[in-house]
Amino acid sequence: MIINRPKGTVDITDRDAKIWKYVDMVIDSVMEKYNYNYIRTPIFENSEVFHRGIGETTDIVTKETYDFKDRGERSLTLRPEGTAGVVRSYIENKMYGTHNLPVKVYYNGTMYRYERPQLGRNRELTQYGVEVLGSKDPMIDAEVISMALNVNKALGLKGNKAHVNSLGDKESRDNYRKALKDYFRPHLDDLCDDCKARFEKNPLRIIDCKVDNNKDYFKKVPSILDYLNKESKEYFDKVCEYLDILKVDYVIDDKIVRGLDYYNHTVFEILADIPSFGNANTLGGGGRYDGLVSELGGPETSCVGYAVGIDRVVMALKEEKVDIPIKENVDAYILYVNEDEKKNAVYIADELRRAGYVVETDYNNKSLKAQFKRADYFGSSYLIILNSDDLNEGVVTIKNNKTKEEEKVEMEYLIYYFDEHIDDNFIDNDEDCNCSDCSCHNHEKEV
Ligand code: HAM
């Protein structure tokens, strides 16, 4: 019997796998420019890291974590997100004492949430995210928002927008919570069961309830922005000022409250312009979390960050039919028949690969006809046809698969031949580039 993959997981193969690799490469290249260091933290952590970090009352912790006991009876949790693990690592490795603050890191890896699988929502998901630990400057809030959009732009996505809001400081949020409870109290019986529970524990989360939010009385919900105290308002104004300097495409959206408890002040989401995606239109989100480091036992540290769902970014790239500069074809296919020719095929393939060319050959002792077919399957630009007579004279036959022209090339000049004839077809010219700025991989390689 066939064993299927677990519900809510995906196999990423073939062309899709190439798109994923390309996305990773663009992320790495943009991160490098902003001087963010790559960080790898464990895929599982002691459960407390997430339960305490994300908040015991959040949907993620109450309904979605993969919690388990290992054989030593330790309570562990598969990471549902990257922030809490990075904060744990920052504290455990005493980065606040050994690094020049702020620490700027990024990660890229799988996360696990027990959610109902649907478009753009899986149980194993991949996020890349950035965290800045040790700065409370509105400039950095603006920088990370701008960076999130710049990565998407560099990938070729169009029409992404940041929806930005402020949850203010504790005083502002306490006042707002009270106002929200006063507002929703008369409607309490009408709210969904989740929102009834949120009413006491976390009334802010009622605002983005997917069940209730089209009800009439949701249209007049008080705005958090009217409850920000002076300092919080000034902070938010500054963030917006820097966003303007960075020419970030953003709107102020007082409905953004986020699903994790650790946020204060700036919160934001990155939205694609693809209405058919529904909720999966939210490609990423993040914000400031000044209390999390101390909550997890470290010193008071102001932080900000975001994460983007790569599954959704890949979906968006495909939906928007973005022309992705991935190599679709092999440079050369080596054909041979007998053992002597095969030994030469092994040697030539190795030489050309080490010179940087993509080379394919036959591994199943197939007929010449089948080998020609296989060469076509891989869209090989050139065929290297080996035969013993040629090899005795130190030459090979090369066929241009497009023009069908053939010529004999001396073995020792083979690499020079390819240097002369193969363009770097990964990048052609400016017209092939989708990006609207010059931080993309294409341009990077050209300059
Ligand atoms: P989040 O909003 O929970 O934030 O997740 C960020 C992104 O991950 C979402 O916008 C979405 O694209 C993707 N995502 C979340 N759940 C799923 C899922 N089940 N399937 C596919 N994609 C999903 C965080 O995780 C925070 N740690 C972000 C952050 C970093 N805040 C500060 N620093």
Condensed to tens digits (0 to 9), the pLDDT of residues 276-296 reads: 999 999 999 999 999 999 999
The DSSP secondary structure of 350-402, one letter per residue, reads: HHHHHTT--EEE-SS---HHHHHHHHHHTT-SEEEE--HHHHHTTEEEEEETT
Q: What is the pTM of this model?
A: 0.91
> Structural domains in the chain?
14-169+229-319 (3.30.930.10), 332-421 (3.40.50.800)
Sign of the torsion formed by the C-alpha atoms of 178, 179, 185 and 187: negative
Note the pLDDT of residue 259.
80
Using the mean position of ligand 1's atoms as its centre, give its distance from the Cα of residue 373 in Å.
44
For residue 115, give the ligand 1 atom closest to its CA.
19
Contacts of 270 (CB under 8 A, 6+ apart): 148, 149, 152, 160, 161, 162, 163, 282, 283, 284, 285, 306, 308
Q: Give 443's DSSP letter.
A: H
Determine which of 96-110, 139-153, 235-249, 418-432 has the lowest per-residue pLDDT on average. 418-432
Using the mean position of ligand 1's atoms as its centre, give its distance from the Cα of residue 310 in Å.
10
Residue 264 Cβ < 6 Å to ligand 1: no
Using the mean position of ligand 1's atoms as its centre, give its distance from the Cα of residue 147 in Å.
16
Reported as type and span, the H/E element at residue 91 is helix 83-92
Using the mean position of ligand 1's atoms as its centre, give its distance from the Cα of residue 61 in Å.
14
Distance CA 434, CA 301 (A): 39
For residue 312, give the ligand 1 atom closest to its CA.
12
Note the pLDDT of residue 424.
57
Residue 212 Cβ < 6 Å to ligand 1: no
Using the mean position of ligand 1's atoms as its centre, give its distance from the Cα of residue 362 in Å.
44
Token pair 């497009």: residue: 402
Sign of the torsion formed by the C-alpha atoms of 226, 230, 235 and 239: positive
Note the pLDDT of residue 433.
44
Q: Which of 18, 25, 107, 19 is nearest to 439 (CA)?
A: 25
Sign of the torsion formed by the C-alpha atoms of 191, 194, 196 and 198: negative
For residue 84, give the ligand 1 atom closest to its CA.
27
Please compute, for residue 127, the number of CA atoms within 13 A of its CA located in the half-sphere on the CB side.
Answer: 28
Residue 81's pLDDT band (cuts 50, 70, 90): very high
Mean pLDDT of 36-43: 98
Residue 305 Cβ < 6 Å to ligand 1: yes
Using the mean position of ligand 1's atoms as its centre, give its distance from the Cα of residue 333 in Å.
43
Q: Which of 262, 188, 266 is nearest to 233 (CA)?
A: 266
Mean pLDDT of 149-162: 97
Q: For atom 31 of ligand 1, which residue has the closest CA?
A: 286
Note the pLDDT of residue 427.
40
Q: For atom 17 of ligand 1, which residue has the closest CA?
A: 121
Alpha carbon of residue 423 to chain centroid: 30
Residue 307 Cβ < 6 Å to ligand 1: yes
> pLDDT (tens digit, 9 = 90+) per residue, 301-343?
999 999 999 999 999 999 999 999 998 899 999 999 999 999 9
For residue 313, give the ligand 1 atom closest to its CA.
12
Residue 311 Cβ < 6 Å to ligand 1: yes
Distance CA 99, CA 411 (A): 54
**Which of 51-60, 199-208, 345-354: highest mean pLDDT?**
345-354
Residue 152 Cβ < 6 Å to ligand 1: no
Q: Where are the beta strands (DSSP E) in 237-381?
A: 250-252, 264-271, 282-288, 303-309, 332-335, 359-361
Mean pLDDT of 163-174: 96
Using the mean position of ligand 1's atoms as its centre, give its distance from the Cα of residue 116 in Å.
15
Note the pLDDT of residue 214.
83
Going from the C-alpha of 114 to that of each of 27, 122, 423, the distances in angstroms are 27, 8, 47
Residue 227 Cβ < 6 Å to ligand 1: no
Size of the chain in residues: 447
The two structure tokens encoding residue 306: 């975001």
Note the pLDDT of residue 274.
95
